[in-house]
Amino acid sequence: MTSAPDPRTRPAPADTTTTASPTASPAAGPAPSPAAIGRRLSVVADQTTDSPAPAGCNSSSPRTDVLGEASRPRKAAVAKAGAELRGEVLLTLAQLRLATPRQLKALLLPHQQDTDHVRRALRNLLESPALVGRTNRAQQSYWHCTPAGLAEAAASGELAPTTGRTTGKRIAASRTGLREHGLALVDTVIAFHQAQLADHADWRVEVPHPTPAGNLLPDGVVLLADGSSAFVEIDRTMSYARLIAKLERYDAYRGAPVAGRGNAARPPRSHWQENYAGPSLERPFPPVLFVFAPARRRADPDTREAAFHERAGRVGSVGYRLTVATTTLALLMEHGAGRSVWRVVGNHRGEERRTLAALPKAR
């Protein structure tokens, strides 16, 4: 049975000679975001001339006491050193699988007026050995990690040890809507990031969660700034029957039996309690958030959202064992994830929308 990593697990501090591997440690409260800790890469070679680098920032240096070129803390700065930005671009693509230059700018350089710095970093990473790749469609470029880039990012210890992590190349080149689905997920990450609800480093994509009926595969799992978590599902073309089936899979995950025998100091826990309930089991089951995004030859997102509410409201676990809320990608991007854009399934108050903080808790 595949076990998902603890979303609160954070990489251990690394010294200047080696890159530490992630190690889990129990925390009494919410773990700090990687935005506060810093994100480190082992090596990102200076492949093209970018800008004069300060002493000690070239990862190609033979000295073993010099930090890798991309080994710089994440920070919301107007301008960043080329080495730092290259490392963040690589880590972000490894984490989210694909993105456009506009999306990368929104996440990494929100105060920049254009994408020039991001595009320069991408071009540098594209040089031999190529750590990123791109697919061009309709005058738009979609970027993803290459196997070498994914290995580079994974070896840094900055990414959660997710099994089955992919480069995103197949998704970027897809003609079946997978690319648009992936980009809608990145836009959702941007909305949460800009609302300061969650750092973009605190997302995990398609991590399997075991249930008695097989693995549950959320589109995304986000660790929120308050220490709680949420499951996120992006819908563009999925049938209502499949959406309801996924809700039932969430119910099966919540109701899965406890694992292990426990001990006098710590009772046995189920998988979701181990990963999301907190050290004292004080947190309820995470809410399941559906974001309806536009798709060609499909009903508009508002219509799909309303139809989903009608069907999902009949699922017995919704509103009792599961908190389910919905929004549209347009609302999310226009108003922000922290505003009153979430509509609770099973809420009998018409079209009322709430903030994420005001959602009811699962019992």
What integer is the mean pLDDT of 162-184?
73
Q: Picking from 115-119, 185-189, 259-263, which range would have the lowest pLDDT averaged per residue?
A: 259-263
Residue 180 has pLDDT above 70, yes or no: yes
The percent of residues in the chain predicted with pLDDT above 90, rounded, is 52
What integer is the mean pLDDT of 233-247?
94
Which tens digit of pLDDT belongs to each residue from 59-94? 333 333 333 333 334 444 434 558 899 999 999 999
Q: Picking from 54-63, 252-261, 292-301, 308-317, which range would have the lowest pLDDT averaged per residue?
A: 54-63
Most trustworthy range by pLDDT among 16-20, 113-117, 152-156: 113-117
Residue 19 has pLDDT above 80, yes or no: no
Q: What is the pLDDT of residue 170?
A: 66
Q: What is the pLDDT of residue 349?
A: 67
SS (H, E, C) the chain: CCCCCCCCCCECCCCCCCCCCECCCCCCCCCCCHHHHCECCCCCCCCCCCCCCCCCCCCCCCCCCCCCCCCECCCCCCCCCHHHHHHHHHHHHHHHCCECHHHHHHHHCCCCCCCHHHHHHHHHHHCCCCCEEEEEECCEEEEEECHHHHHHHHHCCCCCCCCCCCCCHHHHCCCCCHHHHHHHHHHHHHHHHHCCCCCHHHEEECCCECCCCCCECCCEEEECCCCCEEEEEEECCCCHHHHHHHHHHHHHHHCCCCECCCCCCCCCECHHHHHHCCCCCCCCCCCEEEEECCCCCCCCHHHHHHHHHHHHCCCCCECCCECEEEEEHHHHHHHCCCCCCEEECCCCCCCCCECHHHCCCCC
Q: What is the pLDDT of residue 264?
A: 59
Q: What is the pLDDT of residue 71?
A: 38
